[in-house]
Amino acid sequence: MAELDHRVKNVLATVQVLSAQTAKRTTSLDTFLQTFTGRLRALTSAHELLTAARWRGASIENLAAAELSALAPGQARWEGPETFLTPRAANALALALHELGANALKFGALSADAGRVEVRWTARPDGGFELVWSESGGPRVAPPTHRGFGATLLSQVTGRELNGDVAADYPPSGVQVRLRAGRGAVIERPESAPQTQRFRTPEVLSVGAADLKGARILIVEDAVLLALELETGLSEAGAKVIGPAYELEEAMALLSQPIDAAVLDANLNGRLVTPVAEALRARGVPFVFATGYGETGGAPTGFDAPIIRKPYDVNQVASAVAELLRAG
């Protein structure tokens, strides 16, 4: 319990700093939410990988896949020897890769269809590693004229957390970043670590301006703040929200109402939402599962339903529901 308390406080402190630093460097609420949510997802990806290995470490390849495969399908490649990082180093690298990917998507190679990103890492004689991020095929590059939080994170945080350093160059052909890490960032492969080649990134559902006008959407979610956020977001998209239901019995009682689609928290205070899902399936009502568990499970099995991993963007949920309604 003491170790769990320590980790939770570290995570909350990190989230607090990320939110504060992101807010200082954004000029609109929409930009803040988009940027902060992306950074939070980067931490989540690293956390899932660390949890799969019982918090003993995560591989660079898995971290690169988690951050880049959904962000730039077909436009990013990563390659290097099997290298496992300490939890602290894994979190730092996940955030660094996210910042580089987000910047490439906005301004760099990933903003163009022909753009490419290559991530390669090699072992260093001292036991550490060197990782090189290379962009090509995108818009002509010039050195940045101002320093955002992403640049500060890379220059002041990433290098220190990895016991190394970070250097960035801006040739016209594309951004080049070299990250060097010391021996203290690398560990032996944990026995409980997932096989690198078998790693699968979570499905990413399309995000857009969903139109749910008039749709009756059931919300089943035991976290009150999340339920309220979902209710607000779906209502703004035009939906008529049923619920939210915070307990299994509450959800079952609401099933007598006309329902067009549903968003189901997979686990309600320790109880699977399976009875609700079964009842909705019997009526032909589509639904999505929302879960805070990682790739190892969390959602009830046996259902052909999309799974959205927490933390999520409410727009993502609205778009997923809209897709279900269109398909139906």
pLDDT tens per residue across span 82-112: 999 998 898 889 888 888 887 887 889 988 8
Residue 112's pLDDT is: 87
Give the confidence band of 254 by pLDDT, cuts at 50, 70, 90.
Answer: very high
155 domain residue, yes or no: yes
9 domain residue, yes or no: no
Residue that is written with structure tokens 């006008």 in the block: 213
Give the confidence band of 70 by pLDDT, cuts at 50, 70, 90.
Answer: low
Whether 209 has a pLDDT exceeding 50, the answer reads: no
pLDDT digits (tens, 9 = 90+) for 15-39: 776 687 778 768 888 888 877 887 7
Element (H, E) at 218: strand 216-220
Q: Bridge-partner residues for 132, per DSSP?
A: 120, 178
- Boundary (domain end) residue, out of 198, 224, 248: 198
Whether 194 has a pLDDT exceeding 60, the answer reads: no
Task: Look at 289 and 95; give whichever has higher pLDDT.
Answer: 289
- Boundary (domain end) residue, out of 139, 167, 198: 198
Give the confidence band of 53 by pLDDT, cuts at 50, 70, 90.
Answer: low
**DSSP calls for 199-223:** --PPP----S----TT-EEEEE-S-
Q: What does the DSSP 8-state code read for residue 54? A: T
Integer Cα distance of 29 and 159 in angstroms: 30
In the three-class reduction of DSSP (H, G, I as helix; E, B as strand; rest coil), residue 65 is classed as helix
Pick the range with the lowest mean pLDDT from 124-133, 149-158, 236-245: 149-158
Integer Cα distance of 75 and 278 in angstroms: 40
In the three-class reduction of DSSP (H, G, I as helix; E, B as strand; rest coil), residue 8 is classed as helix
Q: Are residues 47 and 161 in the same domain?
A: yes
Look up the CATH number of the domain holding residue 221.
Answer: 3.40.50.2300
Q: Are residues 139 and 244 in the same domain?
A: no
Q: Are residues 100 and 226 in the same domain?
A: no
Contact criterion met (CB below 8 Å) for 137 and 124: no
Convert 113-128 to b/e letters by CB count within 10 Å (16 or more is b). Answer: eebbbebebeeeeeeb
Q: Are residues 56 and 114 in the same domain?
A: yes
Look up the CATH number of the domain holding residue 54.
Answer: 3.30.565.10
Q: Are residues 85 and 233 in the same domain?
A: no
The gap from C-alpha 311 to its chain's centroid, in whole angstroms, comes to 7
For the chain, how many structural domains are there in total? 2
How many angstroms separate the Cα of 118 from the Cα of each of 79, 151, 198, 227? 8, 19, 21, 40
| Domain interval for residue 225 | 216-327
Task: Look at 246 and 33; give whichever has higher pLDDT.
Answer: 246
Q: Are residues 52 and 194 in the same domain?
A: yes
Q: Where are the alpha helices (DSSP H) in 117-193?
A: 149-152, 159-161
172 domain residue, yes or no: yes
Q: Are residues 128 and 96 in the same domain?
A: yes
**Which is it for strands 76-79 and 176-181: parallel, antiparallel or unpaired?**
unpaired
Residue 10's pLDDT is: 59
Q: What does the DSSP 8-state code read for residue 290? A: E
295 domain residue, yes or no: yes
Q: At what angle do helices 29-52 and 2-24 cross, to 10 degrees?
A: 150
Whether 185 has a pLDDT exceeding 90, the answer reads: yes
